[in-house]
Structure 1
Amino acid sequence: MKFTINFSANVVAFLLSVFLSVWMTPFIVKTLGVEAFGFVHLTQNVINYFSIITVALSSVVVRFFSVAAHRGKLEEANGYLSNYLAASVILSLLLFLPLTGAAFFIETFINVPAALLADVRLSILIGSLLFVLTFFMAGFATGPFYANRLYISSSIQAVQMLVRVICVLVLFTCFTPEIWQIQLAALVGAGAAAVLSVYFFKKLIPWFSFRMKDLSFQTSKKLFQAGAWSSVNQIGVLLFLQIDLLTANMMLGASEAGKYAAIIQFPLLLRSLAGTLASLFAPVITSYYSKGDMEGLVKYANQAVRLNGLLLALPAALLGGLAGPFLTIWLGPAFAQLAPLLYIHAGYLAVSLAVMPLFYIWTAYNKQKTPALVTLLLGGLNVLLAVTLSGPAHLGLYGITIAGAAALILKNVVFTPLYVSYITNHKKHVFYKGALAPLSAAVFAWAVCKALQLFYTVDSWTSLIATGLVVSCCYAVFAFGVICTKEERQMAIKRLRKQKGAVNI
């Protein structure tokens, strides 16, 4: 039941993100221009590079807190979180100087038109405050995670997005539109989320209290040592996810980077959805590990990969199958020529995102050294390929996309299942079983998209949405009748009847 609630809340939050992106992007592009729009995301990417330092704490505190609390060691759990909060304040103060420096010397790193320089600098300064606040508030995510009530986190994110959009509209209406206003709106939204996070944390973890006596150099050292490889991993993640726009800016110019910033939003949303869905399985994976039930953990992880992949196959197929009509309707005919970029993104994401629940196994085992080094190595490969293919090979934005596809497939499809099978002492192929069904389901949905477009033209929001609904219905029938096993179908019917009975009562 908790999974169903958590999943429903995350889907609602994701759909809200999609709606806001669909509505906000054309509005901002039309208001600020495509070149300026590129810096909305690029400035945030520059700030995110500093997460290499902060992730050493934020990535492990949830794990240590939850394992200790699940084992009944509440004092130990209290100490972990107290040390995180104190260390996050100290680190934030230390990082503020280089963050400020990045704002005033940004033109030495990226191509910024003179007319936008002051705007970009102010955006980075405001974004720095947002970064610091987000870092500090990460500790309060331990509440929903430990209680396995991730729907609370999703609801808070939804509120944060709504506040952000409202603020953008107010600022753009009352003042001359500028890039920094988008960052300011994001900061206000994060402030609202912070208030809600603290409130629900106190409700879920009433026994926690920040105490000076719990502050310990040894505890902080333990967190930093455990998170050191997370920092290395974060470098690789940034080379995967935060280098595309920077490469486009440096190799192809601000205008091309602006176009790429617009269309990359939906692949990024799909990655975000994958990460959010994968996190739904993390509390149970952590619980299995904490209790020493390794067989249960492996069985559950296999089911998680299969379900996660089936949930992601549909949006990935829709993104690729309807890319041309979508870009034309959404941003205009000028963007339709970039549809092949979305074909590539949809293809490799459908293949590589299913296995993301497995990331939480090596986190639970605290075996993060090898994944971190592999992520760093392949992230470097991504950068090398992106620069080479977009510049000397003259593939432009397609080179950047192909580079990301190759590197992520190597990391997620090749390395991750093999490494997890190694640390759990199982056969090499055991975690590949769950990834095959989602791939066939994605191909089916893509084929339905293409087949429908042979019979009628998708040239309006109405026809686009109608096509998406038809494909979704066909996908549901195919997945339930062909992909799902007999046991899975019986379980689904049983849960449906149970929920129906509860409603009737």
Structure 2
Amino acid sequence: MSETTKQFKKQLPKNAIMALLSFITYSITAIWLTPYLITHLGAAAYGLIPLAGLFTQYASIITAQLSGAVNRFLTIEILKPGGNPNVIFNSAFALYLILIVIQLPVFGFGIVFADRIFSIPSELKVDALLLLGFSAGSFLINMLGAVFGVSFYSKNRLDIGSRMQLVGLSLRLLLILLAFSVWGPRLRYIGYIDFGLNMLMLGVSVMVWRKLTPELFISFRNIDRKILGPIFHMSLWTLINQLGSLLYLRTDIWIINRFISPLIAGQYAAILVVSNFIRQMANLGIGQLGPVTMSYWAKGEIGELSRMLLFSVKLFAFGLAVPIALLCVNAKHILSMWLGQDFEGFSLLFMVMTVHLCINTAVYPLFQLLSATNSVRIPAIVTFFMGVTNVAVSYWLGVTLGMGAMGVALATAIVLTLKNAFFIPIYSAQILKMPPRTFIGPLLGGLLVMGAVYVLTKLPVAGWIHVGAGTLAGMVVQGLFISFLMGICGWQFALTSGERKIVIETIRRKLEKLVRV
């Protein structure tokens, strides 16, 4: 077993446990807060909250891609004998400061002309502008904090970032409840709270950065313009890739708000919480793979990397197919219990927005491969042009043909799946010099699992599964039974003997540790 694998297995439990706790907190917050905000603010006002995020989303993408490039080069420099990570860090720090200054007039322009970019009800205009302004400020703080966050990644201490996220989510929920209870429900308070929490997290990030990486320090004498070239080159293509992703995942609400109805945009945004929930569930796992993927590639351990990625895609495809299928089967009951009976009629829209994620989240592990190998140019070009296609098709189906929100959701599902079901798996296999169909098989397996779950819930002979159907207890019993059954099938038919041995060995070690404790 390689040293990288040993270190990965040692740190994985800490990272995974904190990521899981953070995810649970996110889930509880998102699920409970959505109907609360709709009830107190109204659907039209609620729809402006994700639009405020869209306002800064393109700039957040710049931050994410710069962070990804810096993480890659900094990690490799730390692992390299005689490396000089301070040059990477300070060069990146200078680049971030420049970008922050550049963003200021862009955000100012967006806020001044916000009512022409979005459809904002007149009674919400002042609150919407304040929300946008403080969202922009929060982004700039986050951008600066991302520079210091590279320490979490390079030292594989993702558990610290998850712990900070958990605290931030909890405080956000409590402060929103407090502000709404004391001063009444207003959009502006959400902006105030987000800005204040981001200031707090920036301070914590700086303190953790100094503790984790005392060898790093701010010194503009260590800036090397030659380093900026490779960082910017990688960032440029990953930026183009993520701008394409933005055209997939963030323009749907804007199209509905601007060209269909602000009210429908708010309703769509509420249902979209479930899709975001599933993506966060996938990110819970993908976040643990980033550092080890980078380490495997940096050390030339391609065999270990290939096996880990194939195993990860299988787990994602089969593990997420079951809950996604159960959500779709029970869509009507879930929407009624969660958002109220007025949302029962959106069950088909819910399914269209959700079902395709069985493929489009299963490929997440392969995105780490593209970053680690710096194979980002071709995927960026494909993603960007497919994203433009998605916007065009969304407008055509949703507005021109009058299909409304359903047309927008259908366009996103089709175009995104075409890219992730074929191009990403084949291109990733080519990088690893594996057969083109290597990663497509598990994706097809995930679809088969979804079909099997649907059949199980509809078979007359399995009618006892439907006892209590439409109730929370009934859906939990149904979900546990089907998950257990699909887990047995997946263990027997999806995993190889070697993969089963890895799982058994990992569980055995964890049980031994618990017994010793």
**TM-score, scaled relative to structure 2:** 0.92
CA change 1:445–1:205 in 2 (3 A) is farther
Conserved? CA contact 2:130–2:191, under 8 Å? no
Equivalent residue in structure 2 for 1:503, among 490, 500, 514: 514
Q: CA deviation at 1:437?
A: 3.6
Paired with 1:355 and 1:452, the residues of 2 have a C-alpha distance of 34
What is the SS of the residue equivalent to 2:355?
A: helix
Q: How far 1:462 moved relative to its partner?
A: 4.0
Count residues with an aligned counterpart.
504
In the TM superposition, residue 217 of structure 1 has moved relative to its aligned partner by 2.3
Tell me what 2:250 maps to: 242
**In 2, Cα distance between the equivalents of 1:192 and 1:247?**
34
Among 43, 46, 62, the alignment partner of 2:55 is: 46
Q: Deviations over 1:131-150 (max 9, x none)?
A: 11111112233222222232
Choose the corresponding residue for 2:277, options 269, 274, 289.
269
Tell me if the contact between 1:282 and 1:360 (Cα under 8 Å) persists in the aligned partners.
Answer: yes
Matched, 1:303 2:314: no
d(CA) in 2 for partners of 1:199, 1:448? 52
One-letter amino acid matched to 1:415:
F
User: Residue deviations 1:96-129, cap 9 Å, x none?
Assistant: 1221221121011121111111111110100011
1:7 aligns with 2:12: no
Distance 1:52 1:254 in 2: 25
User: Which secondary structure does the structure 2 equivalent of 1:272 belong to?
Assistant: helix
- Structure 1 equivalent of residue 46 of structure 2: 37
In structure 2, what is the equivalent of residue 489 of structure 1?
500
Paired with 2:158 and 2:319, the residues of 1 have a C-alpha distance of 17
Tell me: CA distance 1:454–1:239, structure 2 relative to 1, closer, same or farther (3 Å).
Answer: same
Give the match for residue 431 of structure 1.
439
State whether residues 91 and 223 of structure 2, in contact with CA within 8 Å, keep that contact through their aligned partners in structure 1: yes
1:210 maps onto 2:233 in alignment: no
Contact kept? 1:52, 1:235, Cα under 8 Å: yes
Q: Are 2:68 and 2:371, in contact at CA under 8 Å, matched by a contact in 1? A: no
- Deviation (angstroms), 1:244: 0.8
Instruction: Write the mapping of 1:185-200 to structure 2, written as runs, cut at 5 A.
Output: 185-200=193-208
TM-score by length of 1: 0.94
**Which range is displaced more, 229-238 or 123-132?**
229-238
Q: Secondary structure at the match of 1:121?
A: helix
Provide the residue aligned with 1:68 in structure 2. Answer: 77
Q: Shift of residue 184 of structure 1?
A: 2.2
Q: Which moved more, 1:1-10 or 1:42-51?
A: 1-10
Q: Distance in 2 between matches of 1:452 and 1:95?
A: 58
Alpha-carbon deviation of 1:285?
Answer: 1.4
- Judge which range, 178-187 or 330-339, deviates more: 178-187
Call closer, same or farther: CA 1:130–1:365 in 2, change over 3 Å: same
Contact 1:279 1:357 (8 Å CA) reproduced: no
Q: Is the 8 A contact 2:314 2:494 kept in 1?
A: no
In structure 2, the partner of 1:339 is: 347
Provide the rounded CA distance (Å) in 1 between the counterparts of 2:138 and 2:74. 25
Could you tell me which residue of structure 2 aligns to residue 391 of structure 1? Answer: 399
- Most deviating of 199-208 and 172-181: 199-208
Q: 1:116 aligns with which of 124, 128, 131?
A: 124
| Aligned counterparts of 2:255 and 2:328: Cα–Cα separation in 1 | 24
CA distance 1:414–1:141, shift in 2 (3 Å): same
Superposed, 1:253-292 pairs within 5 Å as 253-292=261-300
Pairwise CA RMSD: 2.1
Identity over aligned pairs, percent: 26
- TM superposition shift of 1:309: 2.4
Is the Cα–Cα contact under 8 Å of residues 249 and 256 in structure 1 kept in the other structure? Answer: yes
**Is 1:479 aligned to 2:484, yes or no?**
no
Change (3 A) 1:203 1:318: farther
Partners of 1:242 and 1:453 lie apart in 2 by: 41
Q: Is the 8 A contact 1:390 1:399 kept in 2?
A: yes
In the alignment, is residue 167 of structure 1 matched against residue 175 of structure 2?
Answer: yes
4+ runs deviating over 6 angstroms: none
Residues 73, 458 of structure 1: CA spacing in aligned structure 2 closer, same or farther, 3 A cutoff?
Answer: farther
Q: CA–CA distance in 2 between the matches of 1:265 and 1:137? A: 26
1:140 aligns with 2:140: no
Deviates more, 1:480-489 or 1:492-501: 480-489
